[in-house]
Amino acid sequence: MHHKIIAIVGLPGSGKTEVARFFEQLGFKIIRFGDLTDRLIKDNNLEQNEENEKRMREFIRKKEGMEAYAKLHLEEVEKELHANNVVIDGLYSWEEYLFLKQKFGEHLLLLAIYAPSPVRYLRLGTRLRRPLTKQEAISRDVEEIEKLKVAGPIAIADHTLINVHGFDDLRIHIDEFVKEHCS
């Protein structure tokens, strides 16, 4: 196996999904961990909002453990990895990172996306899909830092991209990252 898994980590509004789309344009297969939450909300006929998303995330992790999203997507990651480089949009917990690192070792690269909180809160408030108020965004930050321990994966990431200068700048940095780490 010579393909890579790029697990994208960052706080809400940092640009993880946009980064994943750039990787997809470069031929990577995207696996979005949050799709599981969205699917369960839909299957249970719940309204797609921050409160229901939080309840569903907590339910999944209580039932399956803090590494739930990595564990429940493992088969899909393994299948895709045989034919493609893979990008995981939205690794969150320390346990998810440890689970994936134990399974994939050197084939896993952790890419942190950073943007300062005022930038992230503005993005979250104006996004079309799942917009958050500033208070919801702050609450989500606290949850991810305190309960999911997302700061650990961000701190030990193999590479960090600063996402404050727009799409063109971000695309240049992703192209450089791919040339350096995935060629």
Provide the pLDDT confidence category of residue 179 given band limits of 50, 70 and 90. Answer: very high
Where would I find the H helices in 26-150?
35-43, 50-64, 68-72, 74-81, 94-104, 117-126, 134-146
Distance (Å, rounded) from C-alpha 100 to C-alpha 62? 19
Q: Each residue of 90-104: b (16+ CB within 10 Å) or e?
A: bbbbbbbbebbbeeb
Q: With beta carbons less than 8 A apart as the criterion, state whether 8 and 87 touch.
A: yes
Q: With beta carbons less than 8 A apart as the criterion, state whether 30 and 23 touch.
A: yes
Mean pLDDT of 129-133: 88
Mean pLDDT of 76-85: 95
Residues near 130 by beta carbon (within 8 Å), at least 6 away in sequence: 48, 49, 50, 53
Provide the pLDDT confidence category of residue 2 given band limits of 50, 70 and 90. Answer: confident
Q: Give pLDDT, residue 128.
A: 87
Q: Is the pLDDT of residue 95 over 70?
A: yes
Mean pLDDT of 25-45: 95
Distance (Å, rounded) from C-alpha 46 to C-alpha 180? 43
Mean pLDDT of 36-60: 92
Q: With beta carbons less than 8 A apart as the criterion, state whether 157 and 112 touch.
A: yes
Q: Give pLDDT, residue 180.
A: 93
Provide the pLDDT confidence category of residue 125 given band limits of 50, 70 and 90. Answer: very high
Q: Is the pLDDT of residue 1 over 80?
A: no
Mean pLDDT of 17-42: 95
Provide the pLDDT confidence category of residue 129 given band limits of 50, 70 and 90. Answer: confident
Torsion sign over Cα 22, 133, 118, 11: negative
Reported as a single tens digit per residue, the pLDDT across 57-69 is 999 999 999 999 9
Counted domains in the chain: 1
Q: Give pLDDT, residue 130.
A: 83
User: 88 is in which domain, residue-wise?
Assistant: 5-181
CATH of the domain at 129: 3.40.50.300
* Tokens encoding 152: 């650990």
Q: Give pLDDT, residue 134.
A: 96
Distance (Å, rounded) from C-alpha 80 to C-alpha 86? 7
151: part of which helix (H) or strand (E)? helix 151-155
